[in-house]
Homo-oligomer: A and B are copies of this chain.
């Protein structure tokens, strides 16, 4: 059985840590490692030791020459790093770079993949496969299932996004801010412009010229690309909430064909990587879904405000399904399809 030398770029970040956690217990029949993964970080973190299956791995500086000999790189670096280093990796013989960053997502020569949704697009990769934004990744699984079965007409999404999506710094800051304002719990107040603690912030990433945020735009354009549905009608309001891990989404979906609730539930249950919460008296919440693999779909109900329409509630671990887990599933599927 073929073995693969794997590297992780951005290994010391939030998603990098989750990649390592997941890879440690990944089925060896699916991704057969040729030695422990090689880890790459910034110059500052180079030299750090990270444990992997009881081996101490030394983090290397992210220099192109260090990528020699690797088969697959899982990259969770920032856009500027992706832009510069991914082509260097390919030049040095790396067969596949799976990049969770946004830089290559909308590039027409790069497939954008959520595992379980458009795996067939893996087949035309030219060395790079991009993974979507975390918010899109969890949304697209139920959308794909419903699109196949009934045809999507229009989607309205409002998000409740965890702070871990913003990185380690903002996570620590939220904890600090909580501790600080709780010194006077009678009067919970603002102590910082960007305070998420005891607040909600309806602006994620930057503001665009039409009043939407970049995050909201990503959900629209990435969904259209993955579903190969360029004129899908979709709008989004993306909001940060004081939750550590686990994005939630309130989703209103108008379908082209009529349906009954049983049919919808069957379709969702049969979709790879979805866990349906069919009993309305229970519903997924971020505290419960952190560090779980499925996209949790609950509160699926018929919206009486117009025909052929549903409301649902979608929760997933944003670092897993939205980045690390999806990257590993793509690697597994690329291997299975003989595309590495």
Q: Does residue A158 face the partner (Cβ distance < 8 Å to B)? A: yes
A161 vs B148: C-alpha distance in the bound complex, in angstroms? 34
Contact B158 A203 (CB under 8 A): no
Residues in B neighbouring A298, C-beta threshold 8 A = 202
Contact B237 A288 (CB under 8 A): no
A157 vs B290: C-alpha distance in the bound complex, in angstroms? 26
Contact A160 B200 (CB under 8 A): yes
Residues in B neighbouring A131, C-beta threshold 8 A = none
Q: Per a CB cutoff under 8 Å, which of B182, B210, B243 touches A198?
A: B243
Residue of B nearest to A201 (CB): B285
How many chain copies?
2
Contact B281 A207 (CB under 8 A): yes
Q: Does residue A147 face the partner (Cβ distance < 8 Å to B)? A: no
Contact B287 A189 (CB under 8 A): yes
Binds B, one of A16-24, A54-62, A303-311: A303-311
Contact A250 B241 (CB under 8 A): no
Known: A190-B288, A234-B305, A248-B200. A242 touches B241 (CB 8 A): yes
A286 vs B201: C-alpha distance in the bound complex, in angstroms? 9
Contact B252 A285 (CB under 8 A): no
Q: Does residue A63 face the partner (Cβ distance < 8 Å to B)? A: no
Q: Does residue A166 face the partner (Cβ distance < 8 Å to B)? A: no
Residues in B neighbouring A324, C-beta threshold 8 A = none
Residues in B neighbouring A281, C-beta threshold 8 A = 207
Residue of B nearest to A309 (CB): B235
Known: A179-B182, A250-B158, A280-B211. A233 touches B306 (CB 8 A): yes
Q: Does residue A239 face the partner (Cβ distance < 8 Å to B)? A: yes
Q: Does residue A35 face the partner (Cβ distance < 8 Å to B)? A: no
Residue of B nearest to A234 (CB): B305
Contact A239 B160 (CB under 8 A): yes
Contact B202 A285 (CB under 8 A): yes
Known: A182-B178, A198-B242. A313 touches B237 (CB 8 A): yes
A137 vs B283: C-alpha distance in the bound complex, in angstroms? 27
Residues in B neighbouring A304, C-beta threshold 8 A = 210, 235
Residues in B neighbouring A311, C-beta threshold 8 A = 212, 235, 237
Contact A243 B154 (CB under 8 A): no
What does the 1/0 interface line of A190-209 toward B look like (CB < 8 Å)?
A: 10000100111111000100
15 contacts between A and B (CB under 8 A): A154-B305, A156-B156, A175-B185, A198-B244, A199-B285, A199-B287, A200-B241, A207-B280, A207-B281, A210-B301, A211-B280, A234-B305, A235-B304, A237-B250, A237-B311
